[in-house]
Structure 1
């Protein structure tokens, strides 16, 4: 069943009578997008007003009253029960899975996990479903979308999902067919090393080794010119295989599903070595320090160099508002959200924490919980 609310493009909604249509009017569409971006969580009236009128120097004299009138209009558009009043604000009466943005994130995580597990056909199906939800820019109707962290996050995941979908085709032996879209995607994201690795592998697997070597040299120059950095270990290893004339590498432990870093990492060798040593002897390692000192980057670098016998997953918890949402967010990061939603018996429901324990019990992995200080009890 398709999501009831769509914000991956111009706002659209399924109304109480079952029909679907656009949310018309700039202010009304902005209010709808701001509520949908919260994933069904409450949003304060002042915060909503600031978002709806973010691009307007003529903010209403009484923003609260103007917002109240706008909410009444949105209820007439969506249905009387679609927008609930809560103390100090409003919320969209929907679960996150009813909103295409959050449905996409879950499908993209599941697809990435299936790809890492060596299931390219399943990954392709999940990613096709997720990418099919896009009809334009994320939260296109928000006046302040350019500075919205959620927009940045979901558009980055969109690019990653497109890369994973092409990787599934490469794994299924369709390298020649994906070279054109891969080249276009590389043009838009030239500093994405995993994407560059995929393109060079596709060239090699399509029997175009000379072009693969030329592509590596182009990537090397781009990284040197724009970042002052050398290619990462995965690119260098692929280059060595190209020079030796080796064919496709045998399946092994998948590369960590970590975001690409666009700058080099220097000057913290002691901290990185200490953290890597801790990971070999402790099941739980916590990084402490004031904001902005580089805890996240240090953790990512340590995870990239992780030499354990399990996969690596990153759960970003900055957007999680309630401690009760932490298990579900971690399940999504592990690509197991669908298991939590449907349950082993095929029925909707199930306690997220129990599902998380069930999912992790038979696996070995390194799990990074980032930006979790505001939900530290549930993270623990």
Structure 2
């Protein structure tokens, strides 16, 4: 079968168009195709279909749309229910977007190697796949989410094809096209430079200089910035007559006149990073070029409970892949030290400073989210950046921080699931397995010390329960006290009443890390968290929690689901009646026990967690 999204969404079986009806069905098909074989969650489908106001019957309607698609697509395609959503197995089907990406990648590679005729042909074939505005018969929610990066990819391919044409001496052929493109994209400096080149080579030096001065005015009025180094270099080349047919193409000219130094905001890498042998390759596949047709930098969400090592994994993967993002690496923390969300305006100010934005200190700009977002997207457009957004709280906070370009890679760590991150792959982190836990503890404390006392070392590992933060604290405490043995520390961790007191060293604290989740919890969520203390193994159903809290089952379930969303609980299966069985990490249960008896907490413990008495 053939599928098209670069224009009206459609499916074809041979020469026959598959009859589909309604923007909702087209939206579901497009969402499955754009996921490229990954699961599309029910939550994401709901947001793409109805935005922020879904109907009460959203789940049932999605099921109906999937049934219609299965019926229309026939046996050649398979739409599989795979919690938490659906996945489309396209098998050997032809998809115009994947073909576009393959041709565009090959074309840009040929352009970079100086094979201009081949580059022009490949990029022209890629652009010919576009049959009008992409996703034109989908919901506006899907178009708003996915269209910016698709249009950016198309414009980059167009710039590449024109660059190849100019290198082949086709300046007269592209002049009219460039004039229209500059009118449609007035702030894209690459198109301006190409138009100046074409005009000069057609003997119109004065018109070429006018394009540059018009660019200065437009950039100042719309963005408050001056032309970049490459456009300035083209201007100088027009003035001194060094932009003739024998001069190097613009791609070489840009290399001779690089822009401002690339930002390098990543925290230091973890030198003894261990574990995550399954998850790290996934992140590197997302970030690094490979031979798969249609590869482009993408976005990845890394979720999991506090202290599970999300930041360490993301920072490590970012350092390993930094060379593939030559325009720099950006990093920002999205929670304040007390666990409250950081204002996206403050985050954007930090990022724009690193990007060298000159208007950032203009009066009124710091508090203008719309203006900051516009400046940020202009500064990141077309740049091969790696952006790390650490400890995100929600979609509304993250959305202004996403570059609207297909050339930037984005890594996001979060405790809850986000739905408004186009093209994102999700990696969920759980506790380390016993072998990885031992390796991490040994990397800090010393392998010989652990081997000398295997029973005590095994007890330490059991008390940390695979949580990387707890293992790091335990290992660091042993390393800081060479005269201590594992047998001396193990009894201190053995008492559950004081274990969280012991899992603290310097600025690291398991209790404090878990406490940062509290400000975002509702009353029902806090009640459910305290209620976990009443279950010896930390697992329960909503019915059991309702009985323990003396409340309604619906309210108990809301609280438990909120804890699942915040990665403080997991769903470990279903009971005989089909109800979810909720479970928590051993250290989360200890934290819940402290919350249920705040009168027993010392003053320092209340300060760590920010607990409000109830």
Q: Give the TM-score range, shorter chain.
A: 0.5 to 0.7
| Aligned match of 1:207 | 203
| Aligned match of 1:183 | 179
Q: CA deviation at 1:75?
A: 0.8
Contact 1:256 1:313 in 2 (8 A): no
Q: Does 1:290 align with 2:333?
A: yes
Distance 1:235 1:46, change over 3 A: closer
Q: CA deviation at 1:233?
A: 1.5
- Please give the secondary structure, in 2, of the residue aligned with 1:167: helix
| Aligned match of 2:41 | 44
Alignment equivalent of 1:219, drawn from 215, 220, 237 = 215
Q: Does 1:144 align with 2:141?
A: yes
| Aligned match of 1:82 | 78
Distance 2:122 2:159 in 1: 13
Q: Does 1:13 align with 2:56?
A: no
Distance 1:300 1:38 in 2: 31
| Aligned match of 1:71 | 66
Contact 1:179 1:202 in 2 (8 A): yes
Distance 1:64 1:192 in 2: 42
Distance 2:34 2:265 in 1: 39
Q: CA deviation at 1:102?
A: 3.3
Q: What pairs with 1:1-380 in structure 2 (closer than 5 Å)?
A: 4-15=2-13, 19-21=16-18, 23-54=20-51, 60-80=55-75, 81-94=77-90, 98-140=94-136, 141-148=138-145, 150-248=146-244, 250-251=247-248, 254=252, 288-291=331-334, 292=347, 314=384, 370-372=409-411
Q: CA deviation at 1:369?
A: 7.3
| Aligned match of 1:361 | none
Distance 1:103 1:371 in 2: 24
Contact 2:49 2:142 in 1 (8 A): no
- Please give the secondary structure, in 2, of the residue aligned with 1:79: helix
Distance 1:67 1:24 in 2: 14
Contact 2:329 2:387 in 1 (8 A): no
Contact 1:14 1:20 in 2 (8 A): yes
Contact 1:9 1:137 in 2 (8 A): yes
Distance 2:426 2:19 in 1: 40
TM-score (norm 1): 0.66
Q: CA deviation at 1:103?
A: 2.9
Q: CA deviation at 1:202?
A: 0.7
Distance 2:161 2:56 in 1: 49
Contact 1:54 1:144 in 2 (8 A): yes
Q: Gaps spanning 5+ residues in structure 2: where?
A: 267-321, 335-346, 357-381, 389-406, 414-424, 428-614
Contact 1:44 1:89 in 2 (8 A): yes
Q: CA deviation at 1:73?
A: 0.8
Distance 2:248 2:117 in 1: 16
- Please give the secondary structure, in 2, of the residue aligned with 1:372: strand
Higher relative contact order, structure no. (Cα contacts within 8 Å, ≥ 6 residues apart): 1
Q: CA deviation at 1:12?
A: 1.1
Aligned CA RMSD, in angstroms, stands at 3.8
- Please give the secondary structure, in 2, of the residue aligned with 1:371: strand
Contact 1:43 1:91 in 2 (8 A): yes
Distance 2:176 2:70 in 1: 45
Distance 1:6 1:65, change over 3 A: same
Distance 1:24 1:113 in 2: 40
Distance 2:248 2:206 in 1: 23
The structure having more radius of gyration, on CA atoms, is 2
